[in-house]
Each structure stands twice: as C-alpha cells, then as structure tokens.
Amino acid sequence: MDQNTIQAAVEQAYRLVLSQQYNMPDRMHVADNQNMLLLMPCFSEKFFAAKIVSVFPEAQQHGQPAVNGVMILSDNISGKPLAIMDGAAITAQRTGAVGGLGVKFLTSEAVRTAGVLGAGVQGLSQARYLLFNRKMIKILYIFDLNKEFAISMSNTLKKEYPNIEYVIVDHPNHLVENSSVIIAATTTKKPLFEATCDGIMGKTFISIGSFRPDMQEFPNTVIETADDVFVDTLFAAKESGDIAGPLKNHLITKDKIKEFAGLLEENTYLKNKTIFFKSVGMALFDLTVSSAIYQMAVENNIGQRLDF
C-alpha cells in the first residue's frame, strides 16, 4: 500500500483522538526476561482490532527482526473476523507513518540534513517516511551498532532515493552534530549519544524505539532543552524511559508534555524551536491502518479468503 494512504490512515487516528470516537484500553505487557509480549486492542464505530506483538531485542542474532506479530481485524457490529495480517508489517508501516507525520508537522520543508539511529526494520521505515515527507534532504546519516545493517539500509534507500548522499557514521555523536532532524528507532536502555544544550538547540528529535521505562534513546538534555515536547499518546509519559525518567527525577513537569493530535488543529510549523516528539505507538494506529488495508484489499480482490 502506498505511503500516502498509510499516512492518511495514521492522521485519521489522530483525528479520532480529537473527537474521542474510539475505545482503546491501555496496552498490556507481559515480560519474559528481556523479551516482551504486547497485546493491543482497540474499537471504533465500524471495526475493532487486536494486535499481538513480540519484541525480542536479541532476535537479530538469529537472523530475525526484533518485532514480530499478528494483526486481527474484526467487524464491530457482528464481531465477525474480517482479516488476519502480518503484525510486524503493519507495525513497521504505521510507525514509519507516525514518524513521517512528526517530520511533516514539526520540521521545515527546507530541511537538508537528517539522521537515523538504528538500521533495523523500524529504522528503514522511518527513513522512508522521512524522505517521503522532506524532498529537500540532501544528506542522510545512518548509525547502527552493526555497521552491516547500516550499509544494507543505505543500499536499499539508494534504489528508492538515488539523489541523496548516505553517510554511515561510526558514532551517534557525529550524526547528531550534523543533522537537523534526528530519529531514533532502537531498543537501547542507555542514551545513544551525549550532547550539550548548544548542540541540541534548533533541532527536531523523534524517538520511536523506547517503549518501556527502562529504555531511553536520548539523553535527558534533549527533553530539558526542548521548547516543546509532544507525544502520540499521553500513556508515553508512563511507558517510555525518555519521558518517565525525566519526570521521575523532576527534570521536567507534566505540563510541558502535549498531545501531538493537537497539532492537526493548529496546522502550523514550529519555527526555530527545539522539538522532542516521543512515540510509543497505540492500537488506534493499527486499527485505522489495518482497516484501510482491508478495504483496499476487498475493493481490489487482493488476499486469500478464509472460512471461519
């Protein structure tokens, strides 16, 4: 499915947040040592969806992505199951679009340099939506602890966006120093880089990967320096260490944290500001994206029909 459709579906989710026309219980976590199982249900007027996701940080050592899962979309009138989808693919697309909307609403169209920390499935999706939304980017910096992943990601992107220079860096600090927009898509438990307030000011930081209180992608300096802090869902304040930690240590107060959905009403670019956007994802994104994919599949007779 094309990026316009996916991003429009994510934007529709934010509009449902504004109208409150949905029912979304908190995400449920089941931990098994460092591994995690997530259950994410959500209901709208027409559909309901449930995604079961596994997050295994060491999966790449076995040749597998860190995130796997199954998405089930059902009719919210009869309860009938409508579709079973690849949960990891849905997650990658909708999370890429969440980051893409962050870029669209929080950065200037004239952005020329950007960087992605993490070159896994999520990092690649973030890069694709970043470049989709900002056509003026000339240089994209990429960092991953496994340099081969970064090289592979750059080779993939070169085929899709051949006019951009891709720079593989050996240290995250170099990426941050040279980028106007910094996106992180990792499962790190320690901040990926060090920076002073001067090195952060005027830049946009988007954190995608940290979804537990013991995970943190950016140093506290980012959220302390930021003029504005946005979250895709207020649950992020409890769930992600990038926000939960600074709140617990009284480095910021809750009134600094704003819901991203509010930007859809303002529709203005925050000029010359330091911005931090934290996404932990929500089941509402999965519902709107999977329902859009389902409707497209039905209209175009795509997919395999199953009898229940």
The two three-digit tokens of residue 282, written as one number: 């929500």
In 3-state terms the chain splits into helix, strand, coil percentages (rounded to 5) of: 40, 25, 35
CA distance 80 to 72: 11
Q: What is the pLDDT of residues 108-148, one digit of tens each?
A: 999 999 999 999 999 999 999 999 999 999 999 999 999 99
How many other C-beta atoms can be found within 10 angstroms of the C-beta atom of residue 98? 29
Q: What is the pLDDT of residues 213-261, one digit of tens each?
A: 999 999 999 999 999 999 999 988 888 999 999 999 999 999 999 999 9
Percent with pLDDT over 70 in the chain: 98
Q: Which residues of 277-297 are buried (b: 16+ CB within 10 A; e: fewer)?
A: bbbbbbbbbbbbbbbbbbeee
pLDDT at 270: 64
CA neighbours within 13 Å on the CB side: how many for 223?
Answer: 31
The two three-digit tokens of residue 93, written as one number: 């697309």
Pick from 163, 218, 224, 169: nearest CA to 193: 218
All domains of the chain, ordered by start, with CATH? 3-90+284-300 (3.30.1780.10), 106-281 (3.40.50.720)
The three-state secondary structure class of 41 is strand
Burial of 249 (0-12, 13-18, 19+ CB in 10 A): exposed
The two three-digit tokens of residue 163, written as one number: 């006019």
Q: Is the pLDDT of residue 66 over 90?
A: no
Pick from 189, 201, 211: nearest CA to 145: 189
